[in-house]
Amino acid sequence: MKIKGKKILVTGAGGFIGSHLVEKLVEMGAKVRAFVRYNSKNNWGWLETSPYKTEIEIYTGDIRDYDSVKDSMKGIEVVFHLAALIGIPYSYISPLAYIKTNIEGTYNVLQSARELGVERVIHTSTSEVYGTAKYVPIDESHPLQPQSPYSATKISADNIALSFYNAFNLPVTIVRPFNTYGPRQSARAVIPTIITQIMSGKKQIKLGNLQPTRDMNYVIDTVNGFIKIAECDKLLGEVTNIGSGKEISIGDLARLIFQLMGVEVEIEQEEQRFRPEKSEVERLLCDNKKIKKFTDWEPKYSLDKGLNETIKWMSSHLNMYKPEVYNV
């Protein structure tokens, strides 16, 4: 399958990864309909400031509402499903919201696609479903461990997607990105948290656990991975990781950002930023052999290069963040 000329729906299109994906699809010659959450201000999220705003068809709805999801999919050939609640700390506060959005929302997409005869559904998973690594690097056969309500709902959504492939022959493929960062990322994530606190002039920044390691991927590399997997017929009914195959601890990541920004800053570990002990994912390191075997995907951004791009973008968008507030 080739993306060019396809009529594509992207759910979660106003969000961090979704908005970058929409723009890349437009660049590739796709006809894109962007599903954004209905709101009273008719705000389209990050697509509000997109240079491709006039080339995108906006559809406002709610992923939890079957009627609006099915209506948005009429005339669509390919669906990239990214809409989800993703903040792990908030999943401790409101697990039911994650069940309704991540599980029921995914059902709405799959059932609508089945009824309308959509050519392909690309469902978004997350490396969080693996939990703390039992071995590294983590390949797609690694056990799934629901260490938070968030990861539990993503495991459920992934399995529902695979069940629709097995039971109904719905052409589904699952992308499983490891930690993604870059311009437009929510303040809930660690990299924006570090950068914005420094940019606001703080000499002591607040973080949580510094020991866990993560496999960090610049958003453009992640988006390219989505597209390569979507275009690969051999990955239908499969789960495929997207990751660099490199890991860094949160503490070392913070110190690297200090170095790139040319600042000397102290770190205060704040108890409210720690996950519950059994819920902390201590290590994530991607095995990307599968995506490299079936596609020609390669990460183009080193961690230094991606962080510099992110720092540059955040320096001109600091007004959109609240560095003094802990975002759950």
Backbone angles phi, psi at 265, to 5 degrees: -135, 145
Which three-class secondary structure state does DSSP give residue 29?
A: coil
Is 1 within a domain? Answer: no
pLDDT bin (cut points 50, 70, 90) of residue 242 is very high
Are both 194 and 258 inside the same structural domain?
Answer: yes
Which three-class secondary structure state does DSSP give residue 150?
A: helix
**What CATH number is attached to the domain comprising 267?**
3.90.25.10
- Per-residue tokens: 108: 């709405």
- What is the tens place of the pLDDT at every residue in 182-241? 999 998 899 999 999 999 999 999 999 999 999 999 999 999 999 999 999 999 999 999
Are both 175 and 266 inside the same structural domain?
Answer: no
Is 296 within a domain? Answer: no
Is 207 within a domain? Answer: yes
Are both 223 and 165 inside the same structural domain?
Answer: yes
Supply the pLDDT for residue 272: 86
Is 114 within a domain? Answer: yes
Let me know: does 27 contact 55? Beta carbons within 8 Å.
no
Are both 90 and 230 inside the same structural domain?
Answer: yes
> Whole-prediction pTM value?
0.96
Is 189 within a domain? Answer: yes
H-state helical runs in the chain: 16-27, 66-72, 88-93, 95-98, 105-116, 149-168, 190-199, 219-231, 250-261, 289-294, 303-315
Is 173 within a domain? Answer: yes
Kindly tell me if the per-residue pLDDT of 130 is higher than 90: yes
What is the distance between the alpha carbons of residues 290 and 193, in angstroms, rounded to a whole number? 32
Provide Rg for the chain, Cα atoms.
19
- What is the tens place of the pLDDT at every residue in 20-34? 999 999 999 999 999
128 CB-near residues (< 8 Å, 6+ apart):
88, 147, 148, 150, 151, 154, 281
- Which candidate, 302, 304, 289, places its Cα nearest to that of 137? 289
Supply the pLDDT for residue 328: 65
What is the distance between the alpha carbons of residues 36 and 47, in angstroms, rounded to a whole number? 9
Are both 257 and 129 inside the same structural domain?
Answer: no
- What is the tens place of the pLDDT at every residue in 4-22? 999 999 999 999 999 999 9
Kindly tell me if the per-residue pLDDT of 145 is higher than 90: yes
**What CATH number is attached to the domain comprising 125?**
3.40.50.720
Number of other residues whose CB lies within 10 A of the CB of residue 169: 11
Are both 188 and 310 inside the same structural domain?
Answer: yes
Are both 202 and 72 inside the same structural domain?
Answer: no
- What is the tens place of the pLDDT at every residue in 53-85? 999 999 999 999 999 999 999 999 999 999 999
Kindly tell me if the per-residue pLDDT of 321 is higher than 90: no
Range(s) of the domain holding residue 269: 184-214+246-285+302-320
Are both 210 and 221 inside the same structural domain?
Answer: no
Kindly tell me if the per-residue pLDDT of 161 is higher than 80: yes
Supply the pLDDT for residue 228: 98
The overall average pLDDT reported for the chain is 96
Are both 112 and 149 inside the same structural domain?
Answer: yes
24-28, 112-116, 125-129, 201-205: segment of lowest average pLDDT: 201-205
Are both 170 and 194 inside the same structural domain?
Answer: no
Backbone angles phi, psi at 255, to 5 degrees: -65, -35
Is 113 within a domain? Answer: yes
Are both 95 and 190 inside the same structural domain?
Answer: no
Supply the pLDDT for residue 319: 86
Are both 85 and 72 inside the same structural domain?
Answer: yes
Which three-class secondary structure state does DSSP give residue 318?
A: helix
Provide the domain count of the chain: 2
Backbone angles phi, psi at 272, to 5 degrees: -65, -15
Kindly tell me if the per-residue pLDDT of 143 is higher than 90: yes
Is 260 within a domain? Answer: yes
Supply the pLDDT for residue 7: 98
